[in-house]
Copies of this chain bind each other. A is one copy, B any other.
Amino acid sequence: MRAEMKKRYLGLILDLDGCVYVDGEPTEGAIEALKKLRGIGVRILYVTNNPEVTSEDSASRLRAMGIECSPEEFLTVGEAVARYIASASGPSKLLILTGRGVEEYCRQMGHRVLSLDEWMEAEYLVVGFDRKISYRRLTSGLRALLSGAKFIGTNPDAIHPGREGPEPGSGAFIVPFEYMTGMKPLIIGKPSRVIMELALRKLGMRADEVLVVGDRIDTDVKAGKAIGADTAITLTGITREEDLAEIPRGLRPTYVFRNLRDLVEKLYEQNPSSL
C-alpha cells in the first residue's frame, strides 16, 4: 500500500482486549503508541463488548498499565444497551441476564432493573455473557420473552480465549433463548451498527473521519464496515498472520498492522502531512 494512500484519521475507535492488552498485559508498543496519538491530538474512543465492566473500570485498568485516559474515552456495550433502550422506549423495565456493567448503566439511565421473579413485568430482556447462568435465569428469561418482552443481545461471539483455555462467548448465552422462542435478538454490541453509531456520536465525528481498529475480523472489522468506516486489524489477538489469506472479500480490513506501534508509524509518522 502506498504511503500517499494512507489517511491521517481524526479519531480511532479502538478495541481493548486483544488489541490494547492481552491477558492483562499491554500489547507490544501500545503504551508509547497511545501516548503519541494523544500528543498529536488524535481522538480515541475505546469500544468494548465486555458487559461486566463500566467505563470507570476500564479507565482504571488502562491507567494501571501506564496508559493515560479518562472514562469519557470509553463506550461499553452496557452503556450502548442502556442508551439504545432509552432512545427507543424511554425509561423501561428490564430483565438483564448478563454482566454488572450492563446493569449499572441501565440503572444510571433511569431504567428499572427487575429481579428474576419479576419477569412478567419485563419490557426488554437483555442477554449476553453471563457468568451467573442458571436454570432459574433461563426460565425467567424464557417467560419474559413469551410474555412480550423485546429481545436484546449484547453481541454474538461464540467463544473467546481465556487464560486457561477457550471460554463461552456472549452468543452461547443468547442462542438458548432464540431456540426456545424462535425469536431473533436485536444485537447492540459490535459488530452491530447500533454501538458504532453511538461511538460516532460520542466522538462527534463522521464515519469517514475515523478508523475502526481491533483484533477480530467478525467483530471489529465487521463493525467498522457496518458504518462505512475504514478498518484495521492488529495481529495482537485472535487474528494471526496465517488467517489473513482466508478472510472473505467483504470483510477484508483497510489495513493490517502488527500492533498499535506499527499503526502509528505507518499512518502518522511516515505520513507527516498535517491533520
Contacts and interface: CB of A to CB of B under 8 A. Distances in A.
Contacts of A169: 180
A57 interface: no
A213 B142 CA distance: 29
A175 B176 CA distance: 6
Contacts of A165: 139, 143, 146
A165 B138 CA distance: 13
Interface string A160-196: 0010011111011101111111100000000000000
A87 interface: no
Interface stretch (A21-29, A126-134, A237-245): A126-134
B142 A135 contact: no
A158 interface: yes
A242 to B, nearest CB: 19
A138 B143 contact: no
Nearest to A130: B135
A138 B160 CA distance: 13
A166 B146 contact: yes
A72 B4 CA distance: 80
A167 B138 CA distance: 8
A222 to B, nearest CB: 17
Interface residues of A, number: 30
A142 B166 CA distance: 8
Contact of A133 (B138, B146, B166): B138
A168 B132 contact: no
A159 interface: yes
Nearest to A140: B165
A215 B138 CA distance: 25
Given A133-B135, A135-B130, A168 B159 contact: no
B139 A167 contact: yes
A158 B133 CA distance: 18
A135 B41 CA distance: 43
Interface of A: 130-135, 138-139, 142-143, 146, 158-159, 162, 165-169, 171-173, 175-182
5 contacts: A134-B134, A138-B168, A138-B172, A142-B167, A175-B175
The 5 closest A-B pairs by CB, nearest first: A172-B176, A175-B179, A175-B175, A138-B168, A131-B135
